Amino acid sequence: MRLGNKQALVTGGSEGIGFAIAEAFLREGADVVIVGRDATKLATASDNLTRAGTNGTVRTLSADLATGAGVESVVEHVKMSGRPLDILVNNAGMAFLVPFETVSQEQFRQSFALNVAAVFFLTQGLLPHLAAGASVINISSYFADKMIPKRPSSLYSLSKGALNSLTKSLAFELGPRGIRVNAIAPGTVDTAMRRKTVDNLPDEAKAELSAYVERSYPLGRIGRPEDLAGIAVHLASDEAAWTSGGIFAIDGGYTAG
């Protein structure tokens, strides 16, 4: 087991990519805390993870990371556990895929509160509690660098671009402490958040998006949450002891062209 005796914390861990990563960590022997806003979803996720017969233990923590109080509650939870944190996965996020001219100040505030500020201040707050050789993994997006025609992403792309810059700068700042910081940049993944944004598109735009995906992904499909689990396990493990500052595109080859 590659993550035996390690403690991990995964934000947005009750579904989608976060859930798949938590499941893979548990399978590899890590003890995992999954964080989310919805206590009911967290309980369901915990039950599903436990039934999967994984090797580590799972705990849940309800917190709204878009708020300072939510971030502080997670930091306090780790502090009170009395156990250093070996792996931090900053996965919680949101996407307003709306035209630039209609982006509201509230949408801007919400996006940066969760996609950027939460990552910044949660990592900062947990810094005293990160173990030697700890791994921080940020979940970014291909939208930081590559766009899809007729799918407006100015706000989302801006927030994920900021996250990539933060990843690289923290790799430099925290490297002398032995802490590694990397990001995973998925392509389109079939998650609840993705389905919600697509459902809000007009029917014509949905059809165009589906056709675009089919012809644009070299592997012929969009991703599944479990497609991100392998690289997350690798980056969290000692196998990646000399890997830091990387932005890893896991996107079925989409950004290769």
Percent of the chain whose predicted confidence (pLDDT) is above 70: 100
With respect to residue 200, please indicate whether it lies within any of the assigned structural domains.
Answer: no
- Answer yes or no: is 21 within a domain: yes
156 among known catalytic residues: yes
**76: number of Cβ within 10 Å:** 12
Q: What is the pLDDT of residue 195?
A: 79
Q: What integer is the mean pLDDT of 249-257?
A: 92
> pLDDT tens-digit profile of 232-245?
999 999 999 999 99
Q: Alpha-carbon distance 43 to 60, whole Å?
A: 7
pTM of the model: 0.94
Q: For residue 208, tell me if it sits in a domain.
A: no
- Domain membership of residue 203 (yes or no) is no
Residue 125 belongs to domain spanning: 7-191+224-247
Catalytic-labelled residue, pool 142, 156, 217, 254: 156
Q: Amino acid identity of 214?
A: E
Q: Secondary structure of the chain in the HEC alphabet?
A: CCCCCCEEEEECCCCHHHHHHHHHHHHCCCEEEEEECCHHHHHHHHHHHHHCCCCCCEEEEECCCCCHHHHHHHHHHHHHHCCCEEEEEECCCCCCCCCHHHCCHHHHHHHHHHHHHHHHHHHHHHHHHEEEEEEEEEECCHHHCCCECCECCHHHHHHHHHHHHHHHHHHHHHHHHCCEEEEEEECCECCHHHHHHHHCCCHHHHHHHHHHHHHHCCCCCCECHHHHHHHHHHHHCHHHCCCCCCEEEECCCHHHC
pLDDT score recorded for residue 67: 98
State mean pLDDT over 213-229: 90
Q: Is residue 254 part of a domain?
A: no
Task: Tell me the pLDDT tens digit for each residue of 176-217.
Answer: 999 999 999 999 899 887 777 677 778 887 778 777 777 889
Residue 212 lies in a domain: no
How many domains are there within the chain?
1
| Any domain includes 127 | yes
The pLDDT tens digits for 86-137 are 999 999 999 998 999 999 999 999 999 999 999 999 999 999 999 999 999 9
For residue 204, the model assigns a pLDDT of 82
Whole-number pLDDT of residue 150 = 75
201, part of any domain: no
**pLDDT score of 198:** 76
How far is 257 from 43, CA to CA, in rounded Å?
41
pLDDT in tens, 42-93: 999 999 999 877 789 999 999 999 999 999 999 999 999 999 999 999 999 9
User: pLDDT tens digits for 134-185?
Assistant: 999 999 999 999 988 778 999 999 999 999 999 999 999 999 999 999 999 9
Q: What is the pLDDT of residue 43?
A: 98
CA distance 94 to 109: 11
CATH value at residue 162: 3.40.50.720
